[in-house]
Amino acid sequence: MSSALVIAKYIVYKETLVDSVENFWSFAGAFLGVGLIAFLQSALSETDNLFLIGSFGASAVLIFGAIQSPLAQPRNLVGGHLISALLGVTIYQLFPNIIWLTAPLAVGLSIISMQITKTLHPPGGATALIAVIGSEKVKDLGYWFVLTPVASGVFILLVVALVFNNLTPNRKYPTNRRYSRTFKWAIIPTKRILKRVRGKRYVIASILQHRQSK
């Protein structure tokens, strides 16, 4: 296999398309989850409280777009962020303004800690990094950073994920059956939507095939 084909295989990779209805639920969940946090940030901006941080965007990708991933489960979402935030703040308190040391130390220790506690959540590394390289507003929060924005934002994302990821028969969150639940009131309308979408796809495919055969 030539080097060009290897690059095309691993970089220019086209993922298998997911059902459009599932895409809608992923979008809706992420929109509402991040939107609620952003609303708090906007509505309470005059109080100097911080609610929205960049690592929440990465978490939204996992908990709404890859809900079957072990890295997206509630334990990982909550534990990963809180542990990493606590470590990040502590490291900055010990070694303030030594960015070449605090940045890699915060990320490295957060990874080890998440692995040991079985709460590995990649966005947690970003949370630890934000604690040491963030704005002065972030650094001035000290250990309050763990409570808000981290804990408050994680709580909002988790609640939204538990609702939106159980609205259809094909989505269950968390993956542990003991704690997952599909909302029955959402099953029937969702099945109708799926049926309509599949029907339209069949009609479009038939039309295209008929045109190509001419």
* Residues 16-47 pLDDT 10s: 556 777 888 899 999 999 999 999 999 887 77
CA gap 37, 156 in Å, rounded = 7
Predicted model pTM: 0.76
> Domain coordinates of the chain in residue numbers?
17-182, 184-214
75-88: pLDDT as tens digits: 999 999 999 999 99
pLDDT at 101 over 60: yes
pLDDT at 185 over 50: no
CA gap 153, 150 in Å, rounded = 5
122-153: pLDDT as tens digits: 999 999 999 999 999 999 999 999 999 999 99
pLDDT at 166 over 70: yes
Yes or no: say if 25 and 190 are a contact pair by the CB < 8 Å rule: no
pLDDT at 210 over 80: no
Which of the residue ranges 48-57, 58-67, 204-213 has the most confident prediction, judged by mean pLDDT? 58-67
Written as one letter, the residue type at 184 is K
Percent of the chain with pLDDT over 90: 60
Chain-centroid distance of CA 209 in Å reads 39
